[in-house]
Amino acid sequence: KAGVTQTPRYLIKTRGQQVTLSCSPISGHRSVSWYQQTPGQGLQFLFEYFSETQRNKGNFPGRFSGRQFSNSRSEMNVSTLELGDSALYLCASSLEVAGVDEQFFGPGTRLTVL
Amino acid sequence: GENVEQHPSTLSVQEGDSAVIKCTYSDSASNYFPWYKQELGKRPQLIIDIRSNVGEKKDQRIAVTLNKTAKHFSLHITETQPEDSAVYFCAAAYAGGTSYGKLTFGQGTILTVHP
């Protein structure tokens, strides 16, 4: 089975721009979670989608949004980029129907904001 | 919300020694505790997990113990090898509730195994 994939792997943007990141989960997985990883804050939960619905959201500003498509692929969008948004963005997929289950991570998208 | 503290932040051992990483959590409702290994430039990979209905779980050289009363859990790696060198993250979550998809992570432990 193919693992979780993310595109693009690297992005360089300037302040004020917006960016869209994509995540394709493992086949059959319907839950996709997104995390931000930085040296200072570690791994922080952004949001989770299941069957095209956002079921849970972390403590990030409204500039961070996401969506999920009928094939379970997910995208996250960050608008009006700030320098502090520079991070590794990881998505994880799981089979979970309720609660939390084993999550498989993608390789991440490294976003640099200049 | 849940808060997870992880210690130590760095750990250096000689090949063949054991390594122990400890985590404490704050939310007594948490019942799922995974450990992830992240090598430099790579994705986090699940190495072992435990649910609150068991106190210990082993997988070859890796074991995890859970003390629900004290709200802490630990990762034990025996007979360490240089390839065990990586950053290890603990996490906690409430499986079965409405905390869909949300893992709360510790800050990570940089493990270095010297040959």
Give me chain A's average pLDDT, please: 94
Give A23-33 pLDDT, tens digit per residue: 999 999 999 99
Q: Which of B42, B45, B102 sits opposite A56 (nearest CB)?
A: B102
Q: Which of B97, B101, B106 sits opposite A33 (nearest CB)?
A: B101
CA angle, corner B90, sides to B85 and B93, nearest 5?
155
The dihedral over CA atoms of B62, B67, B71, B75, expressed in degrees to the nearest 10, equals -10
Between residues A104 and A101, which one has the greater pLDDT?
A: A104
Which of the four pLDDT bands, split at 50, 70 and 90, describes residue B95?
confident
pLDDT the model gives residue B23: 98
For the cut 80, the answer to whether the pLDDT of residue B97 exceeds it is no
Q: How many CB pairs under 8 A join A and B?
A: 84
pLDDT the model gives residue A97: 64
Interface of B with A in 52-111 (CB under 8 A): 89, 91, 93-108
Which of the four pLDDT bands, split at 50, 70 and 90, describes residue A101?
confident
Alpha-carbon distance A88 to A111, whole Å? 6
Average of pLDDT values for B16-36? 96
- Give phi and psi for B82, each to the nearest 5: -55, -35
pLDDT the model gives residue B11: 98
For the cut 70, the answer to whether the pLDDT of residue A99 exceeds it is no
For the cut 80, the answer to whether the pLDDT of residue A98 exceeds it is no
On whether any CB of chain A is under 8 Å from the CB of B45, the answer is: yes
Residue A106 · residue A88 · CB < 8 Å: no
| Shortest Cα–Cα distance, A82 to chain B (Å) | 23
Which of the four pLDDT bands, split at 50, 70 and 90, describes residue B100?
confident
Alpha-carbon distance A47 to B60, whole Å? 34
> In whole angstroms, what separates CA B21 from the centre of its chain?
7
Task: Of A79-88, A97-106, B8-17, give the lowest mean pLDDT range.
Answer: A97-106
Q: Which of B49, B98, B106 sits opposite A102 (nearest CB)?
A: B49
Nearest to A46 by CA among A63, A32, A60: A60
For the cut 80, the answer to whether the pLDDT of residue B15 exceeds it is yes
User: For residue A47, which residues of chain B lie inside 8 Å, CB to CB?
Assistant: 101
Alpha-carbon distance A54 to B100, whole Å? 9
Q: Are strands A104-105 and A87-94 parallel, antiparallel or unpaired?
A: antiparallel
Element (H, E) at A28: none
pLDDT the model gives residue B14: 98
Kindly state the percentage of chain A with pLDDT values over 70: 96
Q: Which of B43, B89, B103 sits opposite A100 (nearest CB)?
A: B103
Residue at token pair 């800050």: B107
Average of pLDDT values for B70-77? 97
Q: Do B49 and A31 touch (CB under 8 A)?
A: no
Give A64-93 pLDDT, tens digit per residue: 999 999 999 999 999 999 999 999 999 999
Dihedral of alpha carbons A66, B42, A94, B2, sign? negative
